[in-house]
Structures are given as structure tokens and as C-alpha cells.
Structure 1
Amino acid sequence: MDIIIGCKNFELTPSLRTYIEEKVGKLANYWDRIIRARVELEVDKNKRGGLIHSAIVTLEVPGPDIRVQEEAGDMHAAIDLTMPVLERQIKKAKNKLEHTDWRHMDKAKEKFRQWYERMRGNNK
């Protein structure tokens, strides 16, 4: 899984990069079909003069992408807050993809086969 990290309004430290790669890398244990993870980090000032650290993690998976955004007092906490939500969303997407009811496809195949046999019979 590729991990792309982007930062806005602050400099990414090597220790934070390692922390993100470890945390996001563990998500591959839940589903091996994660294609890419994009992590967007941002630091803004709030109205009282403090700092708001936000982390947006987007996972590219089969089907709709999974996106989680969290804010906290420091960047490590914001990243930590995204992890349980991402784990739940991954399990939900994986379950939905693996347990889709494909019986309707069997009916469509049968109708196509019948149509094909009729068409083939008309050409003889």
C-alpha cells in the first residue's frame, strides 16, 4: 500500500512521518485490497489563539473511497482519533463487498443463455 503524506502550515518531521506510516500501515492487516492511503495534515489557529491540528485520511479501496477527518490539540492525537473510525469503515466496506448477494446474476445468466439458444436456433 502506498502512503502519501501532505502537510499544510507546518513542516513534517521524520518522527511524525514514521508514526503515520506505522499507524496507517497497520490498516493493511484489516484488508489487503487497500490501494493507497492519502494523509493530509493541517495546523490552523482557532479563535482563541490556540492551534487546531487536523488529520484527513483517505483510503483508496475497491468501491467508494473511505475518508475520515479528525481534529485534536496535537497531531498525534488527531491521527490516533482517525484509526478506530477507519478500522470500522474498512470492516464495513469489506463485509459489504464480500457478502453481496450475487443470485440476481445467476438469473441474468440464465436469461442470456435462453436468448442465445433462441437466436442460435433461428439462424440454423
Structure 2
Amino acid sequence: MNLKISGHHLEVTPALREYVISKLDKVLRHFDQVIDGSVVLSVDNHKEKEKRQKVEINLHVKGKDLFVESADGDLYAAIDLMIDKLDRQVIRHKDRLQGHQHEAIKHQPLAPQIEVPPQ
């Protein structure tokens, strides 16, 4: 899997990079058909008193693109929220791929055939 981790108004430290990668391993345990992904860590300074840490991930899996974002006052808490949301989306996507709405015709039992004697 190709993973790109970048920061917007924020320097991505090796500790942050390792934290994101270790948390993404949780998602990869459920679904291993991930092609690539990009994570953007950012800080919004709309109000000087309150800094909002925001995390976005765009994950390209087989058959679909998943996008999740979360925000919190603490960057590590925002990463945890994002991973929880992404995990739920990946599990739901996997269930949709594996969920067969109906059985194939060849696997359905045959109805008993009753022969009617000619009259």
C-alpha cells in the first residue's frame, strides 16, 4: 500500500507518522485490498484562543474510494476519531462486497416434481 502523510500548517514529525501508520494497521487487519491512501494533518487557526486540529484521509480500496475527516482540540484524539470512522466504513464496505443478497439459481433446492398420471 502506498501511503502519503502530509501536513498543512503543521510539521509531520516521525512520532506522528508512526502513530498514524500504527493506527492504520488496525484498518488493514479487516480489509487487505487497500491500493493507496493519503492522510492530511492540519491546524486551523480561525480563533487565536482555540486551535482546531483536523485529520483527513482518502483511502482507495478495491472498488471504492473512502473519505473520512475528523477534528478535535488534540491531534492524537482527532487521529483516533478518524481511525474509528474509517474502520466502520471499511467493515461496511467489506460486508457489502461479501453480502450476497440472494443465492444463485444453481444453489437453490429444486421443488419436488409431482407426476400426474394421464387420464
The TM-score bracket by the shorter chain reads 0.7 to 0.9
Alignment of 1:77 onto 2:73: no
Unaligned runs of 5+ in 2: 107-119
What residue in structure 1 maps to residue 111 of structure 2?
A: none
Give identity over the alignment, percent: 32
- After superposition, the C-alpha distances for 1:24-68 in whole angstroms (9 at most, x for unaligned) are 122110101111121111111133532110000111112221111
- After superposition, the C-alpha distances for 1:80-115 in whole angstroms (9 at most, x for unaligned) are 1111111111111001011244868x9xxxxxxxxx
TM-score by length of 1: 0.76
Query: Could you tell me whether the CA contact under 8 Å between 1:24 and 1:37 is conserved in 2?
Result: no
1:85 to 1:96, Cα distance in 2 relative to 1, 3 A:
same
Give secondary structure in 2 for the equivalent of 1:77. helix
Q: Distance in 2 between matches of 1:17 and 1:77?
A: 14
Q: Distance in 1 between matches of 2:38 and 2:102?
A: 32
Give secondary structure in 2 for the equivalent of 1:3. strand
Q: Distance in 2 between matches of 1:50 and 1:2?
A: 34
The alignment of Structure 1 onto Structure 2 pairs a total of residues equal to 106
Higher helix share: 1
Q: Distance in 2 between matches of 1:65 and 1:47?
A: 33
Q: What is the 5 A alignment of 1:1-124? A: 1-101=1-101
Residue identity opposite 1:11 in structure 2: E
Unaligned runs of 5+ in 1: 107-124
Report the RMSD for the aligned CA atoms in angstroms: 2.0
